[in-house]
Each structure stands twice: as C-alpha cells, then as structure tokens.
Chain A
Amino acid sequence: MAIIVFIIFVVIVIGLSFYLGKRTKSSSGYYAAGGQIKWGVNGIAFAGDYLSAASFLGICGLIATVGFDGFLYSIGYLAGWIVALFVVAEPLKKLGKFTFTDALDSKFNSRSIKLTAAISTLVVSVCYLIPQMVGAGVLVEPLLGIPHAYGVAMVGAIVITIVATAGMASTTYVQFIKGALLIIFSTVLVVAVLIRGLTTQPDQGGKVPFYQYASIPAMIMDGKVQVEEPGVEVLDQVGMKGGLVFVLLSNQGVQNWWHASDTDQGLMLMESQSVVVKPDGQYVNGAPLSPENQLRQVGNLEQISGEKDVNTGGISFLKFLSSFTDKTTTVRTWKTSTFTSNTNEKVTVYYFSDVTGDRFLRPGMKFKVEGTVLERLDFLSLMLALFLGTAALPHILIRYYTVPNPASARKSTIVAIAAIGFFYILTLFMGLGAIANGVLNPADSNMSAPLLARSFGELLFAIISAIAFATVLGTVSGLIVAASGAVAHDFMDRFMDKKMDDRRKVKAGKVAAFVIGGIAILLGILFKGMNVSFLVGLAFAVAASANLPAIVMLLFWKKTTPKGIASSIVVGIVASLTLIAFSPELYTLYGLNPLDAPIPINNPGIISIPLSFITLVVVSLLTQKKETT
C-alpha cells in the first residue's frame, strides 16, 4: 500500500515537472517562476519550502522523546517568520531579481558581494540539504525496504529531475501540493489521536499487544550486583559515568542487558532492550536480528492523572494536553547508552526512565536550562539562531521573487505564517501522541510521526509517509534551485561576467542542479543517524550569521559599504562553521569524546551572529571614505 501511494505521488510530481518544463524556457521562468505566482499559492508554497523533514520528522521525534524541548524548535522556527514579514519581505522583493545576492548587491554592483553572497547561499543550502537527505534515507528505508544510501540516492535523482525540468515553476507547485497535503493529513492524524484518547497500556489499536517490562530485586555485594531470583544469573556488569549500571542477565536462558535502578523498594534491575554486535552478527534482546526479531516500539504513560490502568477514550485537545502537564501523570521515556562489554562486544542499551508529566512538558529534558552557565548559553544561542535564521535562508528569500509585487510578498508571508503556525501546533499533538501510543523506535526518533500514522492503519501510514517523502522532495528542490541560482546566476553570469544568453543561463542552472544534487546525496549518506532537527538548527545558525547582518544593515544603516557586507558574510560563515566543527556534538559524530571539544557549546549563533554584525560595522566605518567618494 505504502509503495503504491509513494509511486503514484512520485509519478504525479515528475509528470507535473515535465509539463511545466515545456513552458519554462526563460531564465525568469526557471529562477523565479516568471514572477507571476499568486500570493495565496506562494504562501502555501512557502509553507511547503519551510516545513521540511526537520519540522515533520525531526520535531515530532524530539517532542516524543524529550517533550517540550522539542516544541521549542516549533516556537523558534515560527517566530523567525516575524523577522521575515516585518523586516525583509517587501524591501527584498523590491531590490532583488532572482536571488538573494541580487538584493544585497542592488545598490553597489560589487564583485565582492556577488562572490561572497553566492558562496554563502551555497554553504547555507548545503548545510540545510544534509538533514533533508538524512530524513529521506530514514523514510525510504522502512517504506520501500531499501538501504539508507540507496534511499538517499533515489531522492536525489528525483529532486534533480524536478529542478532540472522546470526550476522554480515546478518547485513552487510541488511545494504547494506538498504543503497543503502535509497540513491536511497532519490534522487528520491529530484528530485520530484525540479520538483514540490516552491509555496506560497502548496497543496500537489492538494491532500490537502492550509489552510490560519486568523488574527484578537485586543487591550489591562487594561492588557486584547479585540477584536471588531462580533461573536468573548475572553474567556481566558495566558501570558508566554518572552512576549508571548495566547488568547482563541470563533470564530463563535468554541473555539481555538490564538497567540497575535505585527505587523506593531498593535496588531493582529493570528490563531493557539491547543490540549487541557479536562476531556472528547483531543480536537484539538476546536473539539474532531478523525481520521477526527487531527492537520493540516503545513509549507509554505509566499513570494518567495519578491513575493506572486507564483508558480515557475520545478526549478533547485541552484534556489531552492537561493530562500530560499533570504532576501525577508519569511518562515512560527511553534513553540510549553505548559501551563495550567485558567480553569486548559493542553494546547499545535502550532503557526506560519514568518522568512526571509536568517535567516532560516544560523545558529541561534536552536543553540544560538548569545547568551551567555554558549550557544555558547554548540554549540561548539556539533560540537566537532559530529566531534570526528564517529571514536569512536563501531558499526562502528567493520565493519573494516569484510573486508580482511587494504587497503580494507581504500577503504570501502572512499565509505562510498561518499555515506554518497551525502545523507547528499539530506537531505537539503528533509528538505527544507518538509517545502515548507506544510507537517510538528507540533507535531513531525521526520516524515517530509516520509510525504513529501506522498505528491507525496502513492507508494513513502510506499517505503520511508519501507526504513526508514529498516534504523532503519539496524542500530539497527549493534548496537546489537556490544553490543552482547562486552558481549559474550569481557566480557565472554576474561575478564572472560570462555574458550568457537566456538559454545558456537556464542550461547553466540545470547543470549546477545536477552537481549540487550529487553533493547532497553524498552528504546525506555520510550524516546518517543524526537528528534532523538538530542539523537544521545548525543550518539556521550559519544562515543567521552569514546573511542576516548583511540584509538588516543594508536596509537600515546608510553607512553600510560593499566591503562591510562582504566581510560580514565571510566572518559569519567561517565563524559559525568553525564553532560547529569543534563543538561537542560534532566530536561525538567524529567518534571522539565530546568533553574534549575545544568549543564548549553546540550552537554557534550567540558568538557568530554578533561577530558578523560587528565586522560589518567596523569594516564599513573603515572603508567609508573610499566607498563614498
């Protein structure tokens, strides 16, 4: 079913692209859809551009695993549109032609601006492409049963086809269709969640029996965990930093790792899930990995408003949320720990941790808002980048050139805010619905929303998965149009002054789309496994650091000079990328100890954005005389 819906969708999208491709011959048509898109269509297409894999897959996954901290991304992403509407929408529409570089360079005709803005567009687009391609692989893997790398390659090939046929015209209509479908079917999914209600023993509508995790009393003798349960034997024990202890038990002949936990009843061993890499293959929960033996889906409410064994049935959205925020509600969340056992096997343990509802639905599960000054600074940095990043994303900014006039640019932004805001409210219900319905894959939070849909039947799963796939297609198409515009229009045509005619400009854009699509495929394979919303957060930081100071100061500070703009772009890119490259999260990706990372924060915006602003002001002041005489 999922495959059929998926194929139908891809055929429609590619058919539409070829149809529009026949009518797209000019560079204006290719890069800006002829500037004739209606503001309502453009507004939904904005939503299609913006509601990427990060929004649908990443945020829902984060809310399902870390509660309100995931919703902070929704709030920050939406708030960024305020900057776009009130500060940049109309002025940028008036200044630009095809790309964001056109707008920056409109007053100066400066080669340094053309070059640096084109590089910035490329860098930001590639940073944003990575999570989209990772999301594509995550989706296609379970949907079509093909490996991550093939999934990423397939998405890349389809997107290159879309972009190379009709550029911004096909991209706009793909975005419009995808944006509308995403919002409609996310609403359907949320309504289904509310109709099902909340239960302490979710069984996915009767399809998957609720699994009750066991616990065994234990004691510690001479530093060793011991149990007195008949048929249970301790085989190995590993202590981790922070006092975590995992114990390998042979329980009725089945070997699995358990988590030691201090409770009101004393020390208890809690049943967990594990993946162990042995010389003869992977073992899941003590048995060889197979289509029948996979990690169990997890997540549930242990207590709802102080009561166990509850099934609320249909529930209002207010009751749904207030059940979560209740101090006497207990949410069973899942954590991951990886270590090497004493028999030299690589072990990943997925273990549960019960938290109260009010703890789950307030900040602090992911972001250390009660931690050290640096940890709080990291959070502040993220929220700053989310707020300022939207108005600096090249693939969003180029959409202002697809409408006929500045008023249409303003109105389409408002439609986008309405559509995106509504969708972000839905993400809270989808994320919470995923954990309450026990559909989480403990090894990958990105699939929470599609798996939630599957608990309501294969048809909804097929539609939601196809839409999620379209989400990736749409956003990647927009990014590749932006990046190919930077190469063909900004760099080749304007910076190198190649004197290309209209036909050659379009051809150059298509060739650039092929190359950038190929790079995106490679990066999507390399970054497999990272949370897509986190990666998008970083792309926002790079965009806000590299582009926003230039846009804002060009619009509002008369002393801005071309050298000031070019310098701030370079400093913004270099500073943000350097800070990211040496951050704890990237050290983890490299396989190094995150504590050894020389930069103690993960989000660079708090340093790189002001640095870029300061650079622009200082260089502009230093170059005043030369520029103005």
Chain B
Amino acid sequence: MLHKPAAPAGKDPSASYKTRLGIWMFLFYAIFYGIFVAINLLNPQAMGNIVVAGLNLATVYGFVLIIGALLEALLYNMLCGKKEAELANKPDANDEKPTGKVGA
C-alpha cells in the first residue's frame, strides 16, 4: 500500500506551468551563481575592483545574489499566484494533460 500525503492536495491545474517556470528561474539563478563562482576561481583579483559607491565587485555581487534571490522568489510567487487564480476560474482547467512529472 502506498503511503499517502498528510493532506490531500487536490488537483492543481497550474502545476505543469509552475514546474516549467521553476526550472527556468532556477537555471537563471544557477547561471548567475555559476558566473560568481567562476570569477572567484578564474580571476579572483577582479573581485577586488571597486564597482559602485566604493564597494568592490565581491561585495556587490554577493549582495546582488542575496537580494536577487528574494526578488526572483517574489516574482515566482506572483506569477504562480496569477496562474493559479486564472486556471481556478477556467471550467476546463482540470483537463490539462499530465506531463509525467510529479506535481504535473
């Protein structure tokens, strides 16, 4: 017997949209993070260059990674919420074909 979730989540017609959006946003951030790591490895001295308001690239890039994560998260939530509301009002929303991915 399979072990069922604690609370039945019900059908989520926006699941495949959210999965696709999540993957794209993850890839975007991962590339941005990867560039940061790459600069540290390939040209660490560049991280000491002053770029704005007397702050060096290391500090500014670090802050942008932290604040950028929050902004991207808020954008994701806004887009997901919008899609959820939009599909919840569509009578044929539940007819969306499953993609084979979990949650889809």
A binds B: yes
A318 CA / B63 CA spacing, docked (Å): 12
Q: For chain B, what secondary structure do more than half of its interface residues adopt (helix, strand, loop), or is it mixed?
A: helix
Question: A28 contacts which of B6, B63, B66, B70 (Cβ < 8 Å)?
Answer: B6
Determine, out of A126-134, A506-514, A539-547, A553-561, the stretch whose residues face the partner at the interface: A553-561
CB distance B102 to A325 under 8 Å? no
A85-B54 CB under 8 A given contacts A370-B44, A555-B102: no
A407 CA / B40 CA spacing, docked (Å): 37
Interface residues on chain A, size class: 35 or more
Chain A 67-111, CB-CB to B under 8 Å as 1, else 0, gives 010011011001101110111001101111110001001110100
A32-B6 CB under 8 A given contacts A318-B54, A411-B77, A417-B69: yes
Q: For chain A, what secondary structure do more than half of its interface residues adopt (helix, strand, loop), or is it mixed?
A: helix
Chain A 354-366, CB-CB to B under 8 Å as 1, else 0, gives 0000110111100
CB distance B47 to A97 under 8 Å? no
- Interface positions of A from 389 to 415, Cβ below 8 Å from B: 401, 404-407, 410-411, 413-414
Instruction: Tally chain B residues at the interface, Cβ within 8 Å.
Output: 54
Question: B48 contacts which of A359, A379, A418 (Cβ < 8 Å)?
Answer: A359
CB distance A91 to B7 under 8 Å? no
CB distance A96 to B6 under 8 Å? yes
CB distance B48 to A424 under 8 Å? no
Which residues of B approach A to under 8 Å, CB–CB? 1-7, 9, 12, 15, 18-19, 22-23, 25-26, 29-30, 33, 36-37, 40-41, 44-45, 47-48, 50, 53-59, 62-63, 65-67, 69-70, 72-74, 76-77, 80-81, 84, 100-103
Q: How far is the CB of B32 from chain A (nearest CB, A)?
A: 9
Which residues of A approach B to under 8 Å, CB–CB? 28, 32, 35, 68, 71-72, 74-75, 78-79, 81-83, 85-87, 90-91, 93-98, 102, 105-107, 109, 318-319, 321-322, 325-326, 358-359, 361-364, 367, 369-370, 376, 379-380, 383, 387, 401, 404-407, 410-411, 413-414, 417-418, 421, 424-425, 428, 494, 554-556, 558
B residues within 8 A CB of A376? 41
A48 CA / B101 CA spacing, docked (Å): 32
8 of the cross-chain contacts (CB-CB < 8 Å) are: A75-B36, A82-B25, A85-B76, A94-B12, A97-B4, A109-B1, A362-B58, A383-B37
CB distance B29 to A421 under 8 Å? no
B residues within 8 A CB of A109? 1-3
CB distance B103 to A417 under 8 Å? no
Residue of A nearest to B24 (CB): A86
Question: B7 contacts which of A319, A359, A404 (Cβ < 8 Å)?
Answer: A404
B residues within 8 A CB of A68? 47, 58-59, 62
